[in-house]
Structures are given as structure tokens and as C-alpha cells.
Amino acid sequence: MELSPNHLPELAQDVVKRALAAGATDAECTIEEGDEFSANVRMREIENLKEAGSRGAGLRILIGRKTGASYTSDLSPEGIALMVRSAIELADITTEDPHAGLPDPDEFGAIPGDLGLYSPDVEALDTELKIDTAKRAEEAALSADPRIVNSEGASFDTHVGRHIFANSRGFSGQYRSSYCSLSTVPVARDGDSMERDYWYTMARGFAGLESPEHVGRTAARRALQRLNPVKVDTQKVPVVFEPRTARTLLDNLFEAVHGMSIYRHESFLAGKLGEKVASEDLTVVDDSTVPGLFGTSPFDDEGVPSRRTVVIERGVLKSYLLNTYAARKLGMKTTGNASRGLTGNAGIGHGNFFIQKGVQTPEQIIAAIPDGFYVTELMGFGVNIVTGDYSRGAAGLWIRNGELAFAVSEVTIAGNLKEMLLGLETIGSDLEFRGSVAAPTLKIGEMTVGGK
């Protein structure tokens, strides 16, 4: 079969037909293709250029309630035949699962129209421009202040891809996507104190990026403000998470509302639907329908239309995030959150997962705190989703009399996610999407900051 791009949707449908002919009662095929480019510079010199292309197909089949999955990067007739045979053989030796199966026929579909996921300018960018953009970002950082003495480099990356999905229930869909990103990591020095930090920008198209000069200056400012950190005494104070660290709290929350954590009773939010679990200022949304954002798609990885799901509304837990399997285990309906790579059963992913913004600026939030900790970096993984216990290494700035006073490092912040959600006092107005998870500045009334 000729494998021009226009034939890949036909190939996906052909794979499904072959699987049915080989004995499958249901089948679904995913095909992914993509091209990636990365230009890395360091200390004003090109460090490396990487270019890679990939193309592969994945097949999941059912024989009754038995599942088998296989994938291949060989899209020749021989490669496809081997993939189908492997999936059938695997299904033959697996045990039946009463909850396995494709979504119900009335659940398939896709959001119509252009979702702004693909920008042709990304493919058209020439290599010189990519290198120059990375160099400009690093140069802006290096020249921002004499105390910026070194650099861990700058990187300009692009990705262009296509996702195709077809199943034996008549669903077939595809979409193209693109993005580019720019980042730089300067190193600041003052006497014996050396600190690094970074900044980045990401967009579906080149025109949506922040300027390289802005990226470099922001990264430099962040590295400089970390110089000469101190260790504070252990105390209980208000803690403010800047957007970059606030996003990690959303990562923890996603794990807690993940359908598999719920049906396994491995989440502190299991059995809490309809209950108040957070401050009434908190509304958390999962929305895969917002044009141009990084968690947007017309359909999920089971062919179910993407949608907007309110997870927490004014502090009340409204929904978990589910694929078809988790929904059946819980006696619910899928929320269109199936996510998978080329092989295996679908897992659960999020779309654009975010906290709705509040009204106060970060400056107003900080100005109201006589003594507190502003967190700019988190380290370690001390979060227990079952109990909610939270303890992580942290660095940032101390708030004194409503101002950012001095750098702090080598401390831990500790609490419990249940109490942190309920103790969320203020939500900032500075919501920005630099990826598919986004949060504004968040102030939690009290946490333990462990220092000396």
C-alpha cells in the first residue's frame, strides 16, 4: 500500500479490517507520525542540532472480553500482518475482563471545526532562524547583569505531528498539531554563591512565542533573585506558590481525581463526589476544547469527543476524570479522558487542566502578608495521594512586611493536601498556559516551613 500522508487514515481502517478478519470481535488502530527538531546553544556557540522523524502504528483488539495489543514502526504489509498476528496471539492468552471493551456506539464523535492545533509556519522555519533565536535568548540572559557568569545553554525546539485513529465501530478521525518552544538556563554568581534558574515560552506557532530577549532577561532575573539564600527557622506561615510551582499542586490533584486511583481506593478524594473538598474560591476545570492550547484535541484516544469537565466547582468535588474502562468499573460514563501511546490499553490523561483565575494580582497577594514564604522551586516527590500527606524540598523568597525580602533555600514545606485545598485563601489573576496544566498564584493560609 502506498504510504503517502493521505493514505494513513485508509491504512488505519485497513488494519482494523484485517484484525476483524483474523478473529477479533473489536479493534482500534492508532497511527502517529511526527518530525522533531532541536537547536541547542551554549555560551554563544552551537552545541548540537537534532532532527528526528518517526512513524508508527498501534493496534488494540478484543476477542470477547479478552484484550491484546501490539505496535510496529514497520508500516509495510509484512509489518502490519505481524502486528495483527501478535495482538491476536496476546488476546488468546489473556484472561477475560468484564469491564474491557470499546465505548458504546453513541459515545463516539469529534469536535468539528479548526481547533488551532497546527500552524504551518513551524514547518517553514529555517535552521538559521532557530539557532539565532536560541542565541538571542542566551545573549539576553548573559548580558542582563555582570553577575550572570555562565549558562547551561538555550534551546529552540519544534514538533510537527499527525494523529490518526480508527475503530471497528465506524469511528475514524485525524488531526495535525505543531508547537515550538524556547528556553534558556543562565547561572548567576555573587562571591561564593552560585545559582541557576530558567524561563521558557511555548506556542502552537512561532508568532505566539515571547521574544527571545524577554525569555533571556526573565531567566536572568530569576537566577539573580536566588543569590545568597539563607535557611530560615522552622515555623508555620502562609505559603504562596508562584504559577510555576502552583502547577505541581494541580499535578497532585489530577492523580487524586484519576479514575484508576478512585476505583482502586488509592486517593484521598475517593467517595467524595458532591462533597466540599476545597475552599469555595477554588474551581478546577479540565477542558480539551479551547482552541490553540496544548491539551486540546477533537477527540480522545478512544474516539470520544473532547469536552469541558468541571472537576471542582466552588470547592465542591463535581467529577472524576475517566476513560471507558474506569467509568465501567465505577458505574459511570467516560469523561472523554482516554489517553494512550501507540500500544496497550488506554490510560487516563487530562486536557487543559487548570484553576480558574481569581481577582488579586500576585503583588496584591504578597503585599497582604507580614511574614511568609514565596515558593519558586520544588524538589523531591514527597506526596502521598492516598493520605494527602505532603512534604517537599523547596526554594524561593521570604516575604517580609508585604515584600519579597531575601532568597531562601534548603527548606521543606509540609502539610496535607486535604487541609491545603481547604486552606486555600487567595487565588491570583495571573493564569497563563505554558503547557496543558496551568494555575495562577496560590496562597495557602498556613503550612510548616522546615529549616534549621
Same domain, 242 and 206: no
- Specify the 3-state DSSP secondary structure of 37: strand
pLDDT at 5: 55
Q: Cα 301 vs. chain centroid, distance in angstroms?
A: 16
Same domain, 106 and 78: yes
Whose CA is closest to 299, among 173, 153, 129, 426?
173
Same domain, 182 and 249: no
Whose CA is closest to 60, among 390, 268, 302, 231?
302
| Burial class of residue 89 (count of CB atoms within 10 Å of its CB; 0-12, 13-18, 19+) | exposed
Same domain, 196 and 58: yes
Grid cell listed for 90: 496476546
Residue 450 domain-assigned? Answer: yes
Q: Given CA atoms 441, 444, 448, 452 in this order, what sign does their dihedral have?
A: positive
Calculate the dihedral angle through the C-alpha atoms of 3, 8, 14, 19, rounding to the nearest 10 degrees. 110
pLDDT at 46: 97
Residue 156 domain-assigned? Answer: yes
pLDDT at 69: 97
Residue 406 domain-assigned? Answer: yes
pLDDT in tens, 290-340: 999 999 999 999 999 999 999 999 999 999 999 999 999 999 999 999 999
pLDDT at 343: 85
Global pTM reads 0.96
Identify whether the C-beta of residue 273 lies closer than 8 Å to the C-beta of residue 320.
yes
Grid cell listed for 143: 548580558
Residue 17 domain-assigned? Answer: yes
Same domain, 186 and 90: yes
Amino acid at 175: Y
Residue 1 domain-assigned? Answer: no
- In total, how many domains does the chain have? 2
Calculate the dihedral angle through the C-alpha atoms of 18, 76, 51, 211, rounding to the nearest 10 degrees. -30
Residue 16 domain-assigned? Answer: yes
Same domain, 219 and 238: no
Same domain, 238 and 197: no
Q: What gap in Å lies between CA 336 and CA 346, rounded to an integer?
A: 11
Phi-psi region of 10 (alpha: psi -120 to 50; beta: other; left: phi over 0): alpha
Residues listed for the chain? 452
Residue 140 domain-assigned? Answer: yes
Indicate the residue among 189, 223, 257 that finishes a domain.
Answer: 223
pLDDT at 4: 54
Identify whether the C-beta of residue 317 lies closer than 8 Å to the C-beta of residue 282.
no
Which segments in the chain show pLDDT lower than 50?
A: 1-3
Phi-psi region of 435 (alpha: psi -120 to 50; beta: other; left: phi over 0): left
Q: What gap in Å lies between CA 414 and CA 382, rounded to an integer?
A: 9
Indicate the residue among 156, 189, 223 that finishes a domain.
Answer: 223
Indicate the residue among 192, 223, 254 that finishes a domain.
Answer: 223
pLDDT at 2: 39
Please report which helix (H) or strand (E) contains residue 8, including its range: helix 8-21
Same domain, 34 and 119: yes
| Burial class of residue 80 (count of CB atoms within 10 Å of its CB; 0-12, 13-18, 19+) | buried
Same domain, 61 and 170: yes
Same domain, 101 and 211: yes
Same domain, 277 and 214: no
- Around Cβ 195, how many Cβ atoms within 10 Å? 21
| Domain with 452 in it | 229-452
pLDDT at 452: 75
Q: How far apart are the first and last CA of the chain?
A: 68
Identify whether the C-beta of residue 347 lies closer than 8 Å to the C-beta of residue 337.
no
Whose CA is closest to 294, among 202, 183, 215, 417?
202
| Burial class of residue 81 (count of CB atoms within 10 Å of its CB; 0-12, 13-18, 19+) | middle
CATH number of the domain encompassing residue 116: 3.30.2290.10
Same domain, 194 and 257: no
Grid cell listed for 137: 535568548
Residue 2 domain-assigned? Answer: no
